Amino acid sequence: MKYGPSGSFEVSVNGKTVVKKQTLAFPTEQEIVDAVSRELGR
**Would you state the pLDDT for residue 42?**
78
* Alpha-carbon distances of 28 from 23, 40, rounded to whole Å: 12, 19
**Would you state the pLDDT for residue 2?**
64
**Would you state the pLDDT for residue 29?**
94
**Would you state the pLDDT for residue 15?**
92
**Would you state the pLDDT for residue 40?**
95
Chain Cα centroid distance, residue 31: 8
Low-confidence ranges of the chain (pLDDT < 70): 1-4
What SS3 state is found at 23? coil
Q: Environment class of residue 19 by beta-carbon count within 10 Å: exposed (0-12), middle (13-18) or buried (19+)?
A: buried
